[in-house]
A and B are shown apart, each in its own frame.
Chain A
């Protein structure tokens, strides 16, 4: 088992003929993901590789292939359009890798997706992987091994660092989900925590947060109330100066809410094991499992 995606997920790639889209489509195929089609307007009728036809629209791709998930690699100014299109075509899992989407676009996209019963992961995220079964996005498959630790994270390479530590120490993963670092995102920590809590094949949960916003505090309150599995967490940005952007638009400290201290205190109060550094994940998990 896993959350959001498994070996039965039928994936399309929006922007499959672009530089990033084509590179990562190949990586996903190599990993064993059931990539059933690609979409690039104007290139319908061509094939990406044998068995992966290209369509002009998502709706056509869905009709022909019964795809139920889409991963988006289109430039930032076209990303909102791509998400609207996927939601309209009945795709239930939409993963947007694109970095740099205007935040006002998201104020329109998010309710649209929600009203159609779809789930958006991202934007500006590395996607998700269920090791050994399905990879959607850009998380390097070779650093993961199948297992029983669920991981949810706001960042990309920090996720890889922690997964790498887990794998090196023989702790496999059920699913790893990068939810993205932008201020407005489709899937938050709580959605993933609920998924891992309900997943019979996840025994423990790692959450990697960042300064900015209050998502981690809300997640901590949710853990306290509903999560019975052991949880350990990390907050990046303990040394960040106040009020400065650290790359992610989301990593803004506003007023008194959003500092690393505040988030780590919320973790502690909820019984979440607080990692002071990425390498602490191993000892904390061993202690709690």
Chain B
């Protein structure tokens, strides 16, 4: 789960990381009041879960409280990559001497949290990693001992030479590590970590990603989820315990299992079609899931045909067949369905569908070829 910058800031500040004052606003009047309190030039930043918000006009300077209100009015309600800006962050425009980068990420290769720090901060760190990887220092932390003092200092010395700044940075890195562990993060990142002309070290941004698997035991973190910042169909899917990602094609896909779901999308493309979504109904045998899946997919006007590809293991194919029939009784499914079922209780599933005048295929390639043709014919 991605947090907004203002939420990440709250966590960072509570964890002791020095950051400039500032607050979040949902109206121009609130933004103006924050600017008045900060008493100086401010930056107004759109709070949306997409990269490149600066380039899209979602980050702007304002010199006075009145100008802050005007800028906030422009940014609030703005569409950035399909998402509507609902909140803006108002922070003082900081004086910057140098900009560095400090990130902590869960690394698959070392199976540990790994620090990545670079004196080349403020800009796209992926670009730095790709073109000048030697400018990034990495350190894998043993979670049994945490970040040791000498490790924090060693990292800090790669960012600053002034000893006061080095010590301040080492402390920030230790705090960043504690925040990572205590909030079940897969990423905590400061970009940029700046030094000011008067020698202070400050975090100007706060990026936090929380492991979705932590949320069941951490209701305090789960309530930070901002559903207004997500694709509505994906929110509906999550509430129905489905994993759904909307894509731009016209072949709807309902599959059990993430790997098979991806392979099914790949096969749609292989046979010349375009998948409209990724949808994994998971391993359980609940007809209700199938009903919800069909509801979500038929809500997309682009969808011209829907493919079911179910390999029954834990999932019972007769439950899926019943779910399809229930859905068709509950609401009008006005696009053609192509159904492939094999595995657990297959004979029963085929019988159920046949009795309702529907056909079930047994082979994945045959089903995908057919759905691609049907979608093309309907488009």
Contacts and interface: CB of A to CB of B under 8 A. Distances in A.
Interface stretch (A35-43, A100-108, A225-233): A100-108
Contacts of B278: 240, 246-247
A72 B363 CA distance: 33
Interface string A40-61: 0000000000000000000000
A279 B143 contact: no
B181 interface: yes
Nearest to A101: B213
Contact of A102 (B112, B211, B247, B311): B211
A175 B129 CA distance: 40
Interface string B249-270: 0000001111111110111111
B262 to A, nearest CB: 4
A278 B365 CA distance: 9
B223 to A, nearest CB: 18
Interface string B336-379: 00000011100000000000000000001100000000000000
Contact of B106 (A110, A139, A183, A248): A183
A85 interface: no
B213 A158 contact: no
B231 to A, nearest CB: 11
A9 interface: no
Interface stretch (A88-96, A196-204, A249-257): A249-257
Contacts of B129: 255
B222 to A, nearest CB: 13
Contact of A164 (B112, B130, B211, B342): B342
Interface string A142-160: 0100000000011111111
Interface stretch (A62-70, A209-217, A265-273): A209-217
A239 B217 contact: no
Given A104-B184, A183-B106, A276 B270 contact: yes
B213 A76 contact: yes
A158 B313 contact: no
Nearest to A240: B262
A107 B216 contact: no
A277 B365 contact: yes
A111 interface: yes
A246 B260 contact: no
B318 to A, nearest CB: 15
A155 B259 contact: yes
Given A139-B313, A164-B342, A277-B365, A157 B213 contact: no
Helix, strand, loop or mixed for chain B's interface? Answer: mixed
A106 B313 contact: no
Given A213-B108, A246-B258, A249-B213, A160 B266 contact: no
B108 A184 contact: yes
Interface residues of B, number: 52
Sort chain A's interface into a size bin. Answer: 35 or more
A153 B260 CA distance: 11
Contact of A251 (B184, B247, B262, B312): B262
Contacts of B312: 140
B2 to A, nearest CB: 11
B73 to A, nearest CB: 31
A81 to B, nearest CB: 13
B263 A161 contact: yes
Given A111-B144, A126-B313, A158-B263, A239 B243 contact: no
Contact of B217 (A102, A159, A245, A279): A102
Contacts of B227: none
A244 B211 contact: no
Contacts of B268: 239
B226 interface: no
A140 B259 contact: no
B266 A238 contact: yes
Given A158-B263, A160-B311, A183-B108, A103 B186 contact: yes
B144 A247 contact: no
A107 B112 contact: yes
A189 interface: no
A241 B247 contact: yes
Contacts of B217: 77, 102
Interface in B64-102: none
A190 interface: no
Nearest to A75: B216
Nearest to B249: A239
B111 interface: yes
Interface of B: 106, 108-109, 111-113, 126, 129-130, 142-144, 181, 184, 186, 211-214, 216-217, 243, 245, 247, 255-263, 265-270, 275, 278, 280, 283, 311-314, 342-344, 364-365
6 contacts: A158-B262, A210-B259, A240-B278, A245-B243, A245-B245, A278-B263
Q: Top 9 closest A-B pairs, CB basis?
A: A155-B259, A247-B258, A157-B257, A158-B259, A236-B262, A157-B260, A237-B262, A247-B243, A158-B260
Interface of A: 76-77, 99-104, 106-108, 110-111, 126, 138-140, 143, 153-161, 164, 181, 183-184, 208, 210-211, 213-215, 234, 236-241, 244-251, 255-256, 260, 276-279
